[in-house]
Amino acid sequence: MAQKVRYMSQEWRDEVEKRLLIELTPEKMKNLTSSMSNIYLKCPDGKDRYLFFSFENGRLKELALGEGDPPQAEFRITGEYETFARISRAELGSQRALMSGKLKLRGNMVKALKLASIADRVNKIISTIDAEY
């Protein structure tokens, strides 16, 4: 990718999807079937947005970016845009963001605990995208 893409834009979402499909094998994803909605509050234009991930048998099935109510998901993570941006820039770990209350998780914590390393893998791949924040 030669040009920077704007964070949380449709181009950025397409790049995330491309990289996740290439780099995340079902084995690396532990053949996971689950879904997660990240709710980005206070985006730079003042709006709230969501980024919805759905995995089936370890394969990315759907990645949706949008405004308004997010699709139903097994996990729902809510936080400010800047917190997610720091995670995507690898400046802040998602665990730390949760433990400091910067992010709020809804969903079964026991299952979430099992998926913590997978979420880290996803975030690590996202952090390799050269984005404009």
Residues in the chain: 133
CA atoms of 101 and 52, how far apart (whole Å): 21
Q: Which of 3, 45, 68, 110 binds another protein (CB under 8 A)?
A: 110
**Looking at beta carbons only, is 2 or 113 nearer to another protein?**
113
Residue with tokens 């404009």: 132
At closest approach, how far in Å is the CB of 64 from another protein?
22
Enumerate residues 6+ apart whose C-beta is below 8 A from 129: 1, 5, 12, 15, 16, 19, 88
Q: Counting contacts by CB under 8 A, is residue 79 touching another protein?
A: yes
Q: Counting contacts by CB under 8 A, is residue 41 touching another protein?
A: no
- Point out which residues bind another protein (CB under 8 A): 78-79, 97-106, 108-113
